Structure 1
Amino acid sequence: MAILITAASHMGGTGWTEHLEKIPQAALAGGILGLVIGYSRFSRRVATWIAIAYTTFFIPWQLGLLITDATSWNERLTILYARLYWSTQQFLTNRPVTDPLLFVASMLLLFWTISLSAGYLQTRYGRPWLPLLVGGISIVVVDIYHPTLGQKGTALATYIVLSLLLLTLLYYQRNATQWERNATAVDMETEFNLGKWALGLAVAMVFLAWSGANLTASVIEAPEGSEWLRSSWISLRKRMENLFAPLRGPAVISVQVYSSNLSLGTGVSVSEDVVFTAQASQPRPEGAVYYWRAYTYDEYRNGIWRNTFEAEEPFEAGEFLTSPNLYRDRTMIEFSIKVQRHLETLFAPAIPLTIDRPVTALIDQRPLPEVPPLETLAIKVEPLLNPGERYTVQSLVANPTEADLRAAGRDYPDWIRERYLDVPTPYSLSKLAGMIVGDLDNPYDQVMAITRYLRENYVYSATIPTPPRDRDPILWFLFDLKRGFCNYYATAEVLLVRSLGIPARLAVGYAQGEPDPTNTQFTVRQKHSHAWPEVYFPGIGWVEFEPTSAQPQIVRPSGTSLEEALPPPVANPVAPNTRELAEQFNRLEEAEIDRNNTLTPSPPLVAFIQRLWPFLLLALGVLGLVYAVLRLAQTVRTTPERSLPVYLEQQLINRGWHAPGWLRFWANYVRLTPMERLFLQFELISHIFHSMAQPGMTAEERVRALVKHYPWLEAPATRFLSEYEKAIYSPYASDLTTARHTLKDLWREAIRYRFKFKTHPDAPESSHL
């Protein structure tokens, strides 16, 4: 009862809609009814009809109590039927369900049914495992659709511990019945000691499972083909989102969940669903762009971006998230954002200054001797925002001119150089970047040259094939595939810019969206999810650039009339055709990349070595297990009575316990001689051939029964019988090698016969199948 009430309470605690508190009540009532029916003497058929009758009464009764706008029960049931009918039609036709009653009814029926079934199966048969499995799955589903509860994991851990305790209790009761039947004296503290050890082992197993899952997630990359699984899961979640549509609270998180790691991936289809709308306090300044940033990343390794910042601090509503004097010449604009999805990570353009609600922010704390300024890199809120809620954020928006950016220079602070100049394959990328920029020496002109190169020479594609495992995905994108989506465009620009000594980082979130004519109202949809590079300019700060060819180009004012009259600098004037430039670098890269990789270990190799130690520990564990198995096999061959299964069986019997069937089978198998184990294989072969052998037959009689119907098997079967009788009934030594080879011949014939292959002139066409 406690196990299923844990699962029902977990569902009831989501707060997704009203009346979910009835779910634990239904689980309790169903469990009690199941226990009563199980203890009764009704037959299985009668018990089933009683359960159906109570279900038919209980579920409509509970749902009818929720309908307060009708007086008579006839009216309530009519309204109930109509609401459930139309909600079911909406769900089956793949439309969002508008009435939460269907969800409440489904959960009531689910937990009533599994509780009733578990109570009945436990008391009648002692096997409530299928309903308990369904209850555990329900906890997992809730954790998936409710990320706040999912991060805690306490309900699932409690559920597993209680299930293991129940398994121990049922095992004890089964042995206690056997003890009572055999009049076996048992220590009074046996049940207490067994429960104590079971609880300790259950807690230890759950702890190790949780730790192992975290270790695996941290060191193992997604396998090839996982994108198909991911896209299938997204499609299933999209359909189930219709059922969750009328609910409140953190149900389905349709928007991307951002974390400290970001894989470049292979792309997924996106929808037209609105994520949020934003209202600005003034029109967008000339030259400014709005990218609704959620997260930034500073370290790239072999297709994965990481955020290496760890400082998270809570901030009160209205408190400065970023030092207001951190950068010059920025415009403070207030944005009122109305969300249409459940959000955990909040979006804000440029540099967020304040927000009107308590949040937790990931910050970049600058190491200065005076009061250290700080900059917010990501904002999280708990509890999650619900659809229809608003938050107001003040942001410092940059609108520099081209002249401002050219005049910024290269006087980068030390903390910027240390964190935002790392390049994993400096030789390849610096050669390409050098060819792109040519004689340009100003950082802004160099960044713009790289931006134009990526926009003009690479084709946008929403999805791409899985990158090869033996090649960095960005090198594969730049020199082989030459098509991709924003993750690849932005990453390529960040790394190319860094290879020239210019600090840059990757930002993810959403592009500007759809503006209204006044440039103050913006509608941001799921299809606007985006990644872009941000480049650091001294005094100005982080400035966005747009290398993705599917996005509009960023146009900034020149800044002076003289600049407007002059043509922009040309990158690499001796090779103006960037496509020819790419082909030229391909030849150079193929000739020299191998030489460079042999000089010094590349950062990906270093990262691989650093991540290798968990696998070494795993390999040592596997080798230790193999060694233990080999030693066990050697012990079994030499002294079976000292083997593990025989020892365990004997210990249980000595204490008056009933050894489980699998342990008895294992112990009996260990006690067999090698020839007796081979004869077990012969019996299995006879079963495949549908031999007419009966229990109690001797070995010779079994062979004759097989040969009578399958005469072409006489030679190998007779040879095996001869060796078997030598080993069992005579003082002469048998030849195990001959017996094994003979069994191989019989196995070959059995497999061919099973799959309807005629292997002998006298063999029938597998008529027994």
Structure 2
Amino acid sequence: MTSYRGAPPPEDPPARAFLRAFFPPLDTAGLRFRGGWSGLPIFAIMTLVYPLSLQQANWVELSSHFTNIAIVGLLAGTLLGNSRLRPSRAAALAAVLGSIAVLLFTVFAVPEGTFRERAVALGVDVNTWLTQVLAGEAARGQTVFTLFLGASSWATGYIGAFALARSRRVWESIVVNGACLVVNVSLALTPLLLDLVVFSLCALVLMVRLHIVTLQERWEARNIQPTGEMDWRVLRGGLTWTTVLVIMALVSPRVGAAEVLGTAFDTFEAPYQRVEAEWQRFFAGVSGPSRLRGVSFADAIRLGQSPNLGEATVMTVDAAQGRFWRVIAYDFYTGQGWRSTEVDRTADVAVEETRLREPFEATFNILDSGSGNRLYAANEPLAATVPVQFLVGSDRTFSSGVRAVESRHAAGSYTVLSLVSVADKGSLRRASAPIPESVRRSYLQIPSTLPQRVRDLAREVTASATNAYDKAEAIEGFLRTNYRYAPVVRPPPPNRDPVDFFLFDLKEDFCEYFASSMVMMLREVGVPARLIEGFTSGTFDPVSGQYIVKQVNAHAWVEAYFPGYGWIEFEPTPSETPFVRIEAPAEESDPAAGGEDGSLETDPDAAERDLRIAELEALFAEASGASGAGAAPAPLVDPAPLVSLLILLLLAAVAFVARFEWRFRRHSPVEAAWGKTQLLAAYVGHPSRSSETTYEFADALAVIVPEAREPIRTIADARVRERYAAAGADDGLREAAEDAWWRVAKELLVLLPQRVLRAVVRLIPR
């Protein structure tokens, strides 16, 4: 019989070869988990804290399946970590498996309907979410956010298990799980401190367990047989210190953020708020509450969130009369809340020529700077006694707010010059000039999701009005008469428009509901409008002659645009007194007295008023440090955060050097020089091996840094003489070793950035 023992084995079909590439044989006998299988339960508890915390936060209705997703991710990470797959292929396979697991568990979590019906509903929800997001509107559904939380649960389980099984590193797991948990605990209103305590305990115990395993491996490599109680003694010591650290963290007094860190955060405040605004728009349907306390004026708000205002004094205001102190204007209604799209910063603003406005000065003494860098002002801010930046849109005509260039200016005392309207009702009724295109584009925006009955109600209320002012007055009166103010804020149900919910269901609530309803109704009937947030005038103190403004005075109101007169304030909330405007005398109410459109009639006091405004602007410019109209724009970036960052880096470098030197404080000069050389070489990626002699390591290191060959050899000679010569190293050799160490350190430190760069590159999937 013919023998074919030398023939090559038959090749696998392409499909099978592809499957074997992604699913190689798994040696079940060699399954391992860093820390031993006794460490797996500790890691499992640490991993499950995050999905359980998500369930307690109650962000979405479907959250019970997050734990199952995390468990499957943990198992997948352990199996793939023990496989022979390359990390890039393992990551690709994990992404596919994770997507399937998240989708399946989410579909099965839906309580009603067949599997096909639930899967189709999920696809429709995702498509609707994409449509709303791409249209710039608020996405109300919870499905995509549920998928996102499921994916994060998978990631926390998989990444940590894979790292422990493959590379035997625990920090990937602690960092990923810890970051997700801290974000959830920080944002959730439900107290979740216990979750952080449990996670910290598990993480520290797991680190102790891994340290024991590392010691066991070292002992085994050096043929050391520890006593049977050694493991328990190390574990007991680790548990003791773990408990002490957790208790200290709980009972230690809280330390306020340093001013340096606060200043550094100001640099990232604007981009952070933009990201936060987009995030709220993407997931506007999430019902989880916010941990909002006090007063905070962000670039985006969501209706239905209670600010939990207290009696704390925010500021005192020195002004001729009490007015509403504005902070920010919102122009874009998302269908769930508001955001300001006017975020460009400029040193000055091209104020539109308007009539019947008077200059108004107010000095603000800030006691609680909850508004960040934003300044308070009356109606239309014009200038300030501190360097400022106006937040404007693309046309740079109207500002949504004013910011101090430096945060310290917003937290002290400053004076703001504003233009306030003194227009009478008759003049506003005659304001029939064409509305500028920039105003129409920004302040007549209505989302496609606004229910039709809101539009119909706006037309019904203004049916008898013949001009923009009468329409605004009709809507203002309608809201003040038919709805009641309530200090308790109630959020709208999922997938409900807040304005529609307030007008037809609630019929009583907070000022934001009133103002939002009036703005949307005005826009529906063709009147440009925007939402304003700030404070009411507060309480006048006759002793000091100032207005005392507290947190409870936080308020939202409306500004409507009238051509030739600018932004006019309205108050739809019945708990506040409406703005008072006089009826014009009969002869002034006649349109023939001015231009035919009534927008810019002859104003006999205009020249004198403009001259006074120009003089005040010059005084304010001088007070703020500017050089007049031709002054260079204020810098858009405050250099203080950069200086603060450099100081922090310098302090970190000093701490690193001190810690480095402290490790060798009890060594002789020669042994210290040799130990520092070994440690720094390990930092740059060239650690010594236990089997190497002194000269072998010195020769190997000299190949890596040939420029330091001579000083490395000097240190090696000194160490050999120190350890093995009867007389030891003499003083001259010790001094030579110390001098040589600094030369070696200089060459090795050059390689440190390269090591960091290589580490970053290895983290990038290939």
Please indicate the TM-score interval, normalised by the length of the shorter structure: 0.3 to 0.5
In the superposition, the TM-score normalised over structure 1's length comes to: 0.45
In the superposition, the TM-score normalised over structure 2's length comes to: 0.45
